Amino acid sequence: MNKILHVLNINDFFPELFELTFPTIKAYADRTGFTINLITERKFPDYPINYEKMQVYKDGEGADYNMLCDADMLIHPHFPDVATIVKPENVAFNDNYNISHKYYADRIKYFVRDGRDVGIATNFVVTSSLTHDLWEPLPLTQEQISELAVPNDSEPDEWNRGWGHYADEFALSFNLAKYGMKYQGICPEDWQRPFLIHVGTGDKPKSLRIARQTLEEWSRL
């Protein structure tokens, strides 16, 4: 089985944190037979960096399973092979929200027709060869995506630049609705939830503290 684990790390993202998270990602790949594809170069320069996750569409073509994992994720040593828990006909992800909270979904026929109001958080996403269309690049410009974004009243900072900045999440949510794909959670059992820890918080010292504390706890198991 051909399985690829994609990790986005352009411009040497938060190297102090990556030194802590990436060994857990690599250990998972080695244990479960995934090949790691480290995305380090831009292919979609007219979009925010997070949209480079759409490189999975071309890089993962022909694979049985593609898994995207954020560079600031910790994967527990006992987390199972996703190929054994994700049904081939489903898309799987770790977190989701109502897409209408961030975008004017009622202006897009695919969201209206689909009716499920699902927004995909892209920190951990799994597809099979049957659901590879989830990664299809959008027929929209970044300007068009931003125009569809609901105003975000939070104070802009390094991590929060308005909902229009999250073009990757909009793209995957758009394609889920467009193709009417079925989906499931990546952790079918509640006890597995602590096996995936998204340590990026927007507060770098806090992120490092959480990562180190988590790894220390795992080392004692």
C-alpha 181 chain-centroid distance = 17
pLDDT at 159 over 70: no
Rounded average pLDDT over 73-89: 96
pLDDT for the residue 129: 98
User: 208: how many CB neighbours lie within 10 A of its CB?
Assistant: 17
pLDDT for the residue 72: 96
> What is d(CA 31, CA 206) in angstroms, rounded to the nearest whole number?
29
What number of residues does the chain have?
221
CATH class of 3-219: alpha beta
| Bridging pattern class, strands 196-198 and 73-75 | antiparallel
pTM for this predicted structure? 0.93
Top pLDDT among 189 and 128 is at 128
C-alpha 177 chain-centroid distance = 17
Q: What is the torsional sign of CA 214, 167, 104, 181?
A: negative
pLDDT for the residue 160: 46
> What is d(CA 211, CA 176) in angstroms, rounded to the nearest whole number?
31
pLDDT at 154 over 70: no
pLDDT for the residue 115: 97
